[in-house]
Amino acid sequence: QKEVEQNSGPLSVPEGAIASLNCTYSDRGSQSFFWYRQYSGKSPELIMSIYSNGDKEDGRFTAQLNKASQYVSLLIRDSQPSDSATYLCAAGGGKLQFGAGTQVVVTP
Amino acid sequence: DTEVTQTPKHLVMGMTNKKSLKCEQHMGHRAMYWYKQKAKKPPELMFVYSYEKLSINESVPSRFSPECPNSSLLNLHLHALQPEDSALYLCASSQVDALASTDTQYFGPGTRLTVL
């Protein structure tokens, strides 16, 4: 059974601080990893994809992948109230496997 | 352009009704997906079409019937649904192949379905 695990939260983050989200996966064959943001009642929106070990930066978002540890993370710098959402980690390489999602709440 | 469109946005139907959900993408993607999402849960895969052929059916009840008329369109026909089928139904598409290891899926806005 392929599994992707995330802390469900809520993760409370002061405005302007760094939010750190973590994700682990069980299938060593997974080759691609995605972070989706989902606002309440809306559909998932792709914010980052990462395929190689190391860091990938896009604006205020940085994804980190460590295949040896089977670990993916997402950092959100200078967190804004608009970042309050559920963040879904997903592993590719066949059917997309989603984690349960981490709820992030950015407090003013 | 990474837009996937879905209609209708909201749908209320009785258990004896027949209705259809529609999804469209103009990105030239060759794989399209239907997901079901319940509140506070991740999306749950239902069907995958690859090059207009059904490639994955995740043991979905026959009251859900998918159709892919062409490479840009995906329908989900609904009949004799149950109240527990109420959920957000998401369509997604990806560029090449449903099982490609690096294929990125893009989601439409979803249809909020309520079964009375």
Rounded Cα distance between B65 and B57, Å, is 10
Residues comprising chain B, all counted: 116
Give pLDDT < 50 ranges for chain A: none
| Chain B residues in contact with A95 (beta carbon < 8 A) | 45, 48, 56, 98-99
Is A42 in Cβ contact with B99 (below 8 Å)? no
The mean of the pLDDT values for chain B is 93
**What's the pLDDT at B1?**
55
Is B48 in Cβ contact with A32 (below 8 Å)? no
- Pick from B41, B90, B102: CB nearest A43: B90
**What's the pLDDT at A2?**
75
pLDDT in tens, B1-36: 569 999 999 999 999 999 999 999 989 999 999 999
Sequence-ordered list of residues with C-beta below 8 angstroms from that of A68, at least 6 positions apart, any chain: A53
Contact (CB, 8 A) for B76 and B65:
yes
Q: How confident is the model at residue B101 (pLDDT cuts 50, 70, 90)?
A: low
Is A45 in Cβ contact with B104 (below 8 Å)? no
Rounded Cα distance between A45 and A66, Å, is 23
pLDDT in tens, A18-34: 999 999 999 888 889 99
Which residue type is seen at A37? R
pLDDT in tens, B74-87: 999 999 999 999 99
Is B102 in Cβ contact with A51 (below 8 Å)? yes
| Chain A residues in contact with B43 (beta carbon < 8 A) | 44, 88, 98
B-contacting residues of A 23-62, CB under 8 Å?
31-32, 34, 36, 41-46, 49, 51
| Chain A residues in contact with B60 (beta carbon < 8 A) | none
**What's the pLDDT at B102?**
72
Nearest residue of chain B to residue A85 (CA atoms): B40
Tell me the CA distances in angstroms from A3 to A26, A36, A42, A90, B108, one per residue in order: 5, 17, 24, 10, 25
Q: How confident is the model at residue B58 (pLDDT cuts 50, 70, 90)?
A: very high
Is A32 in Cβ contact with B101 (below 8 Å)? yes
Supply the DSSP string of B85-114, one letter for each residue. Answer: G-EEEEEEEESS-TT-TTPPPEE---EEEE
